[in-house]
Structure 1
Amino acid sequence: MIRYAILIFCLLIDLATTAQVRWDLATCIAFAKKNNIQVNTQRYNQQTAMQNYSLSRSAQLPSVSGSASQYFQKDLRIGSYIFNAGFTLYQGGYLRKDKRQKQLALEAANQSVLVTENDITLNIIQYYLNILLDKEAAVYQQNVVNTSKAQLEQGEQKLAVGSVARKDVTQLRSQLANDEYTLISAENTIKQDLLSLKQLLQLSSEVQFDIATPDTVISQREVPSLATVQEYAFNNRPEIKENQLQIQVAQLGLAKAKSAYYPTLSLSGTVGSSYINDLSGLGSGFYQQAGITLSIPIYSKRQNKTSVETARINIGQAMINLKDTKTTLAANIEKYYLNTINAQSQFTAAREAFKYNEEVYNIANQELALGVSNMVEYLQQKELYVQALQQFIQAKYNAALTIKIYEFYYNQQ
């Protein structure tokens, strides 16, 4: 917790002192958890739940009040000073149950904060990896442009000495223009995805934002079994805990509603002093009294019964919510499990295809430079290479994203 607070402090200092930042994934997530509007909204709900819990605890304490009054009328002065105290001895267990209910509601609010933080974290992971994909695609596309420029330069030199046809050089110029257009599109995609992540982090427009590129991106590793991850999620995920707590809150709501059928026993006491000062002299008095009050409910015009039935409905709704959450969670985990398995298989196949297409493309470049390959064959091979390249990069980051999200449900992010 201390390290987390220090990190956030450093990030805020960074934003205050410079208009340009470059953050890694962990820094983006930490900043979003601290500053995101949705997360902070849940934190305010959490604070409200804390105040409700504090109030329910205080409700078990005696109530004390005092009053003082002083009246003046010509030669007459009247004064009184009164202290009242009250304490509920028995209310069908309402106060004790209310305290426990508010405590559970606070715990549920804590879990709700974690749920929102998890949602934000997943969004940031997806945006972050998309930007890494964009950047790697742009790097490869820049290499393609550089190769096209070199081929065009060689073609123009050969055209000058009459060893190639003008048509071939024109095709090289056209291909370079297409490659440069693709590069510009790739660079624009980087800017757009950076802007999306920046907006998710809710950084101001003055901040020049970029991400740090990690040394490696893990696209393949052992995938935990579906049953293992689902069991862990059902026992540990905050959305499950929150719904379980809401069931207990609703059950205590029913117990509180039933307590209205029981009598209420309360103790009260008053201590007071009064005086009257007039022309005839001073008159004063001191008094104290204590009493016990028993209030027995007889007929509440169906209010108590309605409260009980409403509480039962709330329990049923809370149970349905838990079932729905479990169903959704299980389906999401299974979806990402299948996506992970498929993505890793696709990555393996795309990596092999890219490897061989890159090798053939390099040979085609050499043959074109030596003049032993015609332009049509070269451009066909280049198109196959670019397609293999795009599939490889897409498969690489898709595999990285799916395994990252799948392990997130297993608390291994």
Structure 2
Amino acid sequence: MIRNAILIFCLLVGLPTTAQVRWDLATCIAFAKKNNIQVNTQRYNQQTAQQNYYLSKSAQLPSLSGSATQYFQKHLNIGSYTLNTALTLYEGGYLQKDIRQKQLSLEAANQNVMATENDITLNIIQYYLTILLDKETAVYQQNVVNTSKAQLEQGEQKLAVGSVARKNVTQLRSQLANDEYSLISAENTIKQDLLSLKQLLQLPTEVQFEIATPDTIISKSEVPSLAAVQEYALNNRPEVKENQLQIQVAQLGLAKAKAGYYPTLSVSGTIGSSYFNDISGLGNGFYKQAGISLSVPIFSKRQNKTNIENAKINIGQAQINLNDTKTTLAANIEKYYLNAINAQSQFTAAEQAFKYNEEVYNIANQELALGVSNMVEYLQQKELYVQALQQFIQAKYNAALTIKIYEFYYNQQ
């Protein structure tokens, strides 16, 4: 199914499966919602719940069956044909409660699909922003390598005319090798994280997958109040609604169990025709009959009482599940709120630190080129610059991720 879906996708965008398709975040999320195994598993559960609902509604209808019998013996031929129908008139309200219970179970299954889609969405957001972080790290690391190459080229020119010591040039070569190693590591990290996202999307191996880089990354944004997000989530998140519905399902289970104490009243009817043919002659007949049946429970060997007690237990368990879901959800939102606040503060600090270290690093490059700075001071400043760069990129995408996750609990987009 997934393989066919991606082939269709490639045809729609006019690309062969071997071409490198760039997916934006919205495309990744939409594709996962449609094709992810966990989501589709819940979707099949929803379809099962829907069929159970249809079956429960049909239980109100009368049954109808027919039969035909034909016997052949020597000098004897006997035939019989009948139609039978039956309808339950009263069963303590069991059927109506069962229909409502199955309807609520279907609604709960729908909410479960949405909750699973939300989980997959958050995973994709995290992977997507991580890859963007990796790619920006690689870009900056490439700039560092380019600078190191330029410094080494200048150093070798000075060495050729005897204006710099061989030791300094050797240090530049060593630094270039280290920078190239860091660049290779950054590029490998991109490949590994792309593979992880591709596997989460469950794309076939032959698809060359790449993500699109957005024009801007929002790392600074007004953080919605904790109270507002918690209130919205506790009233609107699908995992909460699902557990609320499960309580109603359990309560209807109790009502159904109590219906076991009530009598069942039903009517039935039969019409038929029969004939026989033997050596003595031909005979036939048509008959019809109707009946009413009343079944009164007297002693069920504790079956009804056990059903009621188990239904009460199910109600209590459903209530516990709802409380646990709400508690966990509120705690997670508070954690994401603090993460968003702290991440934006860290990003602001890292941005300033990177700005000043970059300025000092540029000055150090100029001084080294002019020969007014020694190699040790230059390499120390370069190390500080690389550290500030890494902290800045990490803080930038961490801030973007935390605010994205926090806002997702507010608007689920």
The SS at the match of 1:409 is helix
- 1:164 is matched with 164
**Aligned counterpart, 1:3:** none
Deviation of 1:10 after TM superposition, in Å, equals: 3.9
Secondary structure at 2:85 match in 1: strand
Correspondence 1:124-163 to 2 at 5 A: 124-163=124-163
Tell whether 2:112 aligns with 1:116: no
SS at match of 1:70: strand
Who is 1:374 aligned against? Answer: 374
- Pair 1:278 & 2:278 matched: yes
Write out aligned runs for 1:190-201 (5 A): 190-201=190-201
Contact 1:368 1:378 in 2 (8 A): yes
Equivalent residue number for residue 87 of structure 2: 87
Distance, in Å, in 2 between the alignment partners of 1:12 and 1:308 is 57
Residue 17 of structure 1 aligns with which residue? 16
What percentage of residue pairs aligned between the two structures are identical?
84
Please give the alpha-carbon distance, in whole angstroms, between the structure 2 residues aligned to 1:99 and 1:13. 43
What's the CA shift string for 1:313-349, capped at 9, x where partnerless?
0000000000000011001100000000000000000
The Cα offsets for residues 123-147 of structure 1, whole Å up to 9 and x where unpaired, read as 0000000000000000000000000
Kindly report the root-mean-square deviation, in angstroms, between the aligned alpha carbons of the 2 structures.
1.5
Does the CA contact (< 8 Å) of 2:267 and 2:290 recur in 1?
yes
Unaligned residue ranges in structure 2 (runs of 5+): none
Partner secondary structure for residue 151 of structure 2: helix
Unaligned stretches of 5+ residues in structure 1: 1-5
User: 2-side partners of 1:365 and 1:88: how far apart?
Assistant: 92
Offset at residue 204 of structure 1 (A): 1.1
Aligned ranges 1:170-185 → 2 under 5 Å: 170-185=170-185
CA distance in 1, matches of 2:63, 2:220: 65
Tell me if the contact between 2:10 and 2:17 (Cα under 8 Å) persists in the aligned partners. no
**1:47 aligned partner, one-letter code:** Q
Partner of 1:287: 287
Contact 1:104 1:249 in 2 (8 A): yes
Q: 1:22 to 1:258 in 2, by over 3 A?
A: same
| 1:256-267 map, 5 Å | 256-267=256-267
Distance 2:292 2:15 in 1: 63
SS in 1 for 2:286: strand
Is 1:298–2:322 an aligned residue pair?
no
Please name the residue that 1:352 is paired with.
Answer: 352
Q: Would the alpha carbon gap of residues 16 and 148 (structure 1) be closer, same or farther in structure 2, given more than 3 Å must change?
A: closer
C-alpha displacement of 1:21: 1.7
Q: Deviations over 1:75-109 (max 9, x none)?
A: 11111110001000000000000000000000000
Distance of aligned partners of 1:319 and 1:204 in 2 relative to their CA distance in 1, 3 Å threshold: same
Alpha-carbon distance in 2 for matches of 1:260, 1:412: 44
TM-score, length-scaled by structure 2: 0.97
CA gap of 1:70–1:15, structure 2 versus 1, over 3 A, is farther
The answer to whether the aligner puts 1:210 opposite 2:214 as a matched pair is no
Amino acid at match of 1:211: I
How many angstroms apart in 2 are the aligned matches of 1:33 and 1:176? 45
Q: Report the CA distance between 1:412 and its aligned residue.
A: 5.1
Query: How far apart in 1 are the matches of 2:399 and 2:103?
Result: 42
Query: For the Cα contact (< 8 Å) 1:15–1:21, is it kept in 2?
Result: no
Matched residue type, 1:17: P
Do 2:17 and 2:208's aligned partners in 1 also have CA atoms closer than 8 Å?
Answer: no
Amino acid of the residue matched to residue 281 of structure 2?
A: G
Q: Tell me how far apart the structure 2 counterparts of residues 83 and 22 of structure 1 sit (CA, whole Å).
A: 65
Structure 1 range deviating more: 13-22 or 106-115: 13-22
Q: Normalising by the residue count of structure 1, what TM-score does the alignment of the two structures yield?
A: 0.97
Q: Structure 2 CA distance, aligned partners of 1:314 and 1:282?
A: 64
8 Å contact 1:77–1:277 — kept in the other structure?
yes
Question: In 2, distance between residues paired with 1:110 and 1:364?
Answer: 61
Q: Is the 8 A contact 2:118 2:412 kept in 1?
A: no
Amino acid at match of 1:283: G
CA displacement 1:35-64 (0-9 Å, x = unmatched): 100000001101100100000000000001
2:57 is aligned to 57
